[in-house]
Amino acid sequence: MSFYNGMYKLLAKPLRTIFKLEVKGVENLVHGKGALLCANHTSLLDVIVISIGIDRQVRYMAKKELFKIPLLSQLVTALGAYPVDRGGADVGAIRKTVSMIEKGELVGIFPQGTRHPHVDPRTTEVKNGAGMIAYRAKCDVIPVYIKAKNNRTLLFRKATVIFGEPVKYEELGFENGGTKEYKAASELIFHKICALGEAEG
């Protein structure tokens, strides 16, 4: 048993209780197939509520500074995170992400690029990374909406995680790639994410 699976079996159930977690749409996760999972970002805890809501490991990019801290570095690595330089275009991290998806893994990113607590996600800027990764990996994208009071995930406050139907690669409108296509695809993905929240009410 991997470290992640052991931790999942030990902690997932009590953490679901602590977060008063409700999960919807898990049937939209296809096991054995790689995909990019994209969600709105309200809190550092978003990674946890997504991960404990499903029985499939999600891999995440984490800022490289975390991997320089003793013990924390070993922990985040064991949990499946990998470093990214958020200060610039980290080609190595992007290649690793694409490679993992091609090998059948589920990789999670936040198209907004940073946390936006207490803010309607529909009003926030979306980065190009989701579109670029989807193009390079030629993969489907699973939109995820995290619903929490005041748009911020907190302990002991109800959180709802909604997994939407996969956005097929063919729906993303790619022809030759490039910045404009990445941006348009990222905005389409984020529109799908926000639509899940609107449907939830």
Question: pLDDT per residue over 45-75, tens digit each?
Answer: 999 999 999 989 999 987 788 788 887 777 7
Residue whose token pair is 């190009």: 128
Please report whether residue 134 resides in a domain. yes
Please report whether residue 86 resides in a domain. no
CA distance 55 to 60: 16
Give the domain CATH number at 195. Answer: 3.40.1130.10
CA distance 10 to 7: 5
Radius of gyration of the chain (CA): 16
Count helices and strands (H / E) in the chain. 6, 7
Quote the pLDDT of residue 112: 94
Please report whether residue 172 resides in a domain. yes
Please report whether residue 88 resides in a domain. no
Please report whether residue 146 resides in a domain. yes
Nearest by Cα to 167 from 130, 122, 201: 130
Pairing of strands 82-84, 58-63: parallel
Tens of pLDDT, residue by residue over 67-105, are 888 877 777 777 788 888 766 667 888 899 999 999 999
Please report whether residue 81 resides in a domain. no
Q: What is the identity of the amino acid at 87?
A: G
Give me the sheet containing 58-63, strands edge to edge: 21-24, 159-163, 141-148, 35-39, 106-109, 58-63, 82-84
Please report whether residue 79 resides in a domain. no
Number of domains in the chain: 1
Domain of residue 140, residue span: 19-60+103-200
Q: Is a pLDDT exceeding 80 seen at residue 1?
A: no
CA distance 58 to 86: 20
Please report whether residue 136 resides in a domain. yes
Stated pTM of the model: 0.91
